[in-house]
Chains A and B, each alone.
Chain A
């Protein structure tokens, strides 16, 4: 729970901000990779185009106006531009496009020959401006050129690209600010802006329909993409995108279309066929992890188990373990936690294993399972309390301690073993009704309140426990009192096991983190009585939260600074690495962002990592 509380805010920020900033640094690009451009991706070129708002220039043959001169000749100005700047990929795409328009057309032989300066005007500067997304400047430059050379007309291709790039920019702006109807209007005004070569825009259009609850239209857009865009990877990514909005039946249809429709030579669509299975597995795992989702069917459960076993997916095995633990099938839970721990040892797997074994009454084995992580992992230390101290220790200060059979005591153990935190509260209430409160019992109440997302009350419970602990005799806490006020938490030679006072202070800090009291906690942290390890953990969480805020404020250098500082305290989790990647991306350090996103995606590919990688690649290659 505490991990979630620590990192979720940062991720939320990152995701929201990434949507908002993704396109800030993206040059709009010409997007001319029209490999075998489908019919819906092209449009006729109108005869008149806006140079500046309100001013239109007729594109008509004019003496000395270059490629636009011959009425029936294809406009090869873009082709010549790509040849001149050496962009072979786009040049080939343009050749393919022109051949699609006129099968008899051949590329000019003088494509790579420097064009003699004649009456025509070199359009390269205008193309460069359009490439850089400087549309207003491009229009101004064209207008100025026309003023200087009245006989010159810009090529139709240049004006068309300018229109499309502007339309695409409007669409993305509307999408970033969630003006969904404007997204649809922008796409209607400029259909080429949502062509295959601008796939991100096409996704945004489909998303706009979905957000407006026009699911049939969203489905139609996704269908168009997976049937018309030739690349298998794009079709696959589209189905993943669509999974947020469409029903399983629609996704099934989409997958079938994507795997078979209009196959392009050299493309392997087998990866498209596997999407459905991957989505299904994802859904099953999500259901496994959701306590409210109810039990899975026998078939679903078998499928999930098989998939997890095949992939040796430790996270999946842990999810399965918790699923069985909730179902009170503790032996099955133990088996899956043990599998997970075998595949990839982790404190999360150990935590589950301890609690499953505890529920089976195998306390010695539970302690053994937790031994490698004891003192190194808060979650394991917490879980070990279920088989060592808390329930008994919880009662140790009051009358309940000696008896060992206080009403609620076994209920508390049982509730903790099955992660039933409402049950934990109920048991503690029952115990408090029969005995005096103890510091340990109030502390346990604090942890359970935290799990129930009631951090303010949790903070108060820890504070109360703190006050009570100060009044309790030493034996009641089971800890030597002399150590509390004399230890130097920064002394690395000291034993790091926390005193009850430090546990309470730590609990309060975790609760304050959950309430968002970042400023107050930062201020109080140096004076707080916690172990060095506890302080480092809280400090790391504060830095993560601050990094999230910095990203939201677009202080990208600060993001890196804060994450670097955090990295000195502890390892960087995946979500913060993605946050770091977006900071690098927005600082235009694209190579570093790409390397980071790729290494994350190579380890475990998720929708988030795929999107990050794809966005970065598109920006690097101006492929929007």
Chain B
């Protein structure tokens, strides 16, 4: 037993050495020890205000849910997050918002080695975490998770509904990770979350902005029917 382990270790050793040497050489050649140090600080930056025009998304004009303000922040070198606060015509607590997290691939070999923790979980929700989130987002409202997914320009998304006597709220969430047709190579995934409360009874009216939003990232993100439209 011990002999076998010893052999395995010996066999692995050259490979490990080569890999270690490669890493050291890459770091040294790149003169990038400072880069590594910078990228080890992986907590999110503070939020900063951005103009709606600088957002990577265009929302259909909707007087009930205008953009009140938008913010952005980054986490490490690969996550960009945006928070778009929308108007809230109700008296309920909590902000209406669209959140976007863009997970890009590291732009250098070094980036592969130093990555911040993922800013959103995958799966986006479990039964438990969804229940917790709904209770937090819509305290006192009766909630129900939709049985079937809906579809917007970038694919299927799930949503939940919360209602009381006078208000209706929706929470929709979507993970875009289709590299075959939707996402450019540089983007690993995009996560969208949309939370809106309104005084309409029909949730479709609340979901309309989410159904029709258009992503405007520098690298083109294709819509699901782009390839079948013509």
Question: Do B2 and A56 touch across chains, with their CB atoms under 8 A apart?
Answer: yes
- Write out, one digit per residue, whether chain A residues 397-439 have a CB within 8 A of any chain B CB (1) or not (0): 0000000000000000000000001110110000000000000
Question: Do B94 and A454 touch across chains, with their CB atoms under 8 A apart?
Answer: yes
For chain B, what secondary structure do more than half of its interface residues adopt (helix, strand, loop), or is it mixed? loop
Tell whether A517 pairs with B49 under 8 Å between CB atoms, given A53-B9, A553-B43: yes
Question: Do B139 and A456 touch across chains, with their CB atoms under 8 A apart?
Answer: no
Within 8 Å by CB of B48, from A56, A421, A519, lies A519
Tell whether A455 pairs with B95 under 8 Å between CB atoms, given A54-B2, A292-B140, A517-B46: yes
Of the listed stretches B52-60, B84-92, B153-161, B205-213, name the one at the interface; the rest are far from the partner chain. B84-92
Q: B69 near A: Cβ within 8 Å?
A: yes
Within 8 Å by CB of A422, from B41, B43, B49, B93, lies B93
Minimal beta-carbon separation of A306 from chain B (angstroms): 30
Nearest residue in B to A548 (C-beta to C-beta)? B43
Contacts of A455 in B (CB 8 A): 95
Q: How far is the CA of A516 from the CA of B85 in the complex (A)?
A: 13
Question: Do B91 and A425 touch across chains, with their CB atoms under 8 A apart?
Answer: yes
- Write out, one digit per residue, whether chain A residues 48-62 have a CB within 8 A of any chain B CB (1) or not (0): 000001111000000
Question: Do B93 and A452 touch across chains, with their CB atoms under 8 A apart?
Answer: yes
- Write out, one digit per residue, whether chain B residues 117-149 have a CB within 8 A of any chain A CB (1) or not (0): 000000000000000000000011000000000
Q: Is the interface on chain B under 10, 10 to 19, 20 to 34, or 35 or more residues?
A: 20 to 34
Contacts of A426 in B (CB 8 A): 91
Within 8 Å by CB of A53, from B5, B45, B87, lies B5
Contacts of B93 in A (CB 8 A): 421-422, 452-454
Question: Do A520 and B48 touch across chains, with their CB atoms under 8 A apart?
Answer: yes
Tell whether A453 pairs with B95 under 8 Å between CB atoms, given A54-B9, A516-B47, A552-B43: yes
User: In chain B between 1 and 38, which residues have their CB closer than 8 angstroms to a CB of chain A?
Assistant: 1-2, 5-6, 8-9
Q: How far is the CA of A553 from the CA of B139 in the complex (A)?
A: 33
- Write out, one digit per residue, whether chain A residues 535-576 have a CB within 8 A of any chain B CB (1) or not (0): 000000000000001001100000000000000000000000
Q: How far is the CA of A460 from the CA of B66 in the complex (A)?
A: 13
Minimal beta-carbon separation of A343 from chain B (angstroms): 32
Contacts of B9 in A (CB 8 A): 53-55
Q: A518 near B: Cβ within 8 Å?
A: yes
Q: B68 near A: Cβ within 8 Å?
A: yes
Nearest residue in B to A422 (C-beta to C-beta)? B91
Minimal beta-carbon separation of A159 from chain B (angstroms): 14
Question: Do A456 and B69 touch across chains, with their CB atoms under 8 A apart?
Answer: yes
Nearest residue in A to B2 (C-beta to C-beta)? A56
Question: Do B1 and A457 touch across chains, with their CB atoms under 8 A apart?
Answer: no
Q: How far is the CA of A426 from the CA of B91 in the complex (A)?
A: 7
Q: How far is the CA of A54 from the CA of B139 in the complex (A)?
A: 55
Nearest residue in A to B70 (C-beta to C-beta)? A456
Quick one: which of A55, A460, A515, A520 has the most chain B CB within 10 A? A515
Nearest residue in B to A555 (C-beta to C-beta)? B41
Nearest residue in B to A518 (C-beta to C-beta)? B46
Q: How far is the CA of A421 from the CA of B90 in the complex (A)?
A: 12
Total A-B residue pairs with C-beta atoms closer than 8 Å?
Answer: 70
Within 8 Å by CB of A517, from B71, B87, B92, B94, lies B71
Minimal beta-carbon separation of A508 from chain B (angstroms): 12
Tell whether A517 pairs with B95 under 8 Å between CB atoms, given A292-B140, A460-B68: no
Tell whether A55 pairs with B71 under 8 Å between CB atoms, given A453-B95, A454-B93, A515-B47: no
Contacts of B139 in A (CB 8 A): 292
Contacts of A453 in B (CB 8 A): 93-95
Q: A163 near B: Cβ within 8 Å?
A: no
Contacts of B91 in A (CB 8 A): 422-423, 425-426, 452
- Write out, one digit per residue, whether chain A residues 447-472 have a CB within 8 A of any chain B CB (1) or not (0): 00000111111011000000000000
- Write out, one digit per residue, whether chain A residues 501-517 have a CB within 8 A of any chain B CB (1) or not (0): 00000000000000111
Minimal beta-carbon separation of A293 from chain B (angstroms): 11
Question: Do A422 and B68 touch across chains, with their CB atoms under 8 A apart?
Answer: no
Q: How far is the CA of A519 from the CA of B50 in the complex (A)?
A: 13
Quick one: which of B5, B48, B88, B91 has the most chain A CB within 10 A? B91
Q: How far is the CA of A552 from the CA of B85 in the complex (A)?
A: 27
- Write out, one digit per residue, whether chain B residues 66-79 have a CB within 8 A of any chain A CB (1) or not (0): 00110100000000
Contacts of B47 in A (CB 8 A): 515-518
Q: How far is the CA of A520 from the CA of B70 in the complex (A)?
A: 13
- Write out, one digit per residue, whether chain A residues 270-300 have a CB within 8 A of any chain B CB (1) or not (0): 0000000000000000000000100000000
Q: How far is the CA of A520 from the CA of B1 in the complex (A)?
A: 63
Contacts of A56 in B (CB 8 A): 1-2, 5
Question: Do B43 and A460 touch across chains, with their CB atoms under 8 A apart?
Answer: no
Minimal beta-carbon separation of A185 from chain B (angstroms): 20
Tell whether A454 pairs with B43 under 8 Å between CB atoms, given A54-B8, A54-B9: no
Contacts of B92 in A (CB 8 A): 422, 452
Contacts of A459 in B (CB 8 A): 69
Q: How far is the CA of A55 from the CA of B9 in the complex (A)?
A: 9
Minimal beta-carbon separation of B32 from chain A (angstroms): 20
Minimal beta-carbon separation of A400 from chain B (angstroms): 20
Nearest residue in A to B6 (C-beta to C-beta)? A54
Q: How far is the CA of A434 from the CA of B133 in the complex (A)?
A: 38
Tell whether A452 pairs with B94 under 8 Å between CB atoms, given A457-B87, A460-B69, A552-B43: yes
Minimal beta-carbon separation of A461 from chain B (angstroms): 10
Contacts of A422 in B (CB 8 A): 91-93
Q: Give chain B's interface residues, CB within 8 Å of chain A.
A: 1-2, 5-6, 8-9, 41, 43, 45-49, 68-69, 71, 85, 87-88, 91-95, 139-140
- 24 cross-chain CB contacts under 8 A: A53-B9, A54-B2, A54-B6, A54-B8, A55-B2, A55-B6, A56-B1, A56-B2, A56-B5, A422-B91, A422-B92, A426-B91, A452-B91, A453-B95, A454-B88, A454-B93, A455-B95, A456-B85, A457-B87, A457-B95, A515-B47, A515-B71, A517-B46, A552-B43
Q: Which 7 pairs between the two chains have the least Cβ-Cβ distance?
A: A54-B5, A422-B91, A456-B85, A452-B93, A518-B46, A516-B47, A56-B2
Q: A454-B88, A460-B69 are in contact. List 10 more A-B contacts (CB 8 A).
A: A453-B95, A454-B95, A456-B85, A457-B68, A457-B85, A459-B69, A515-B71, A516-B47, A517-B48, A518-B46
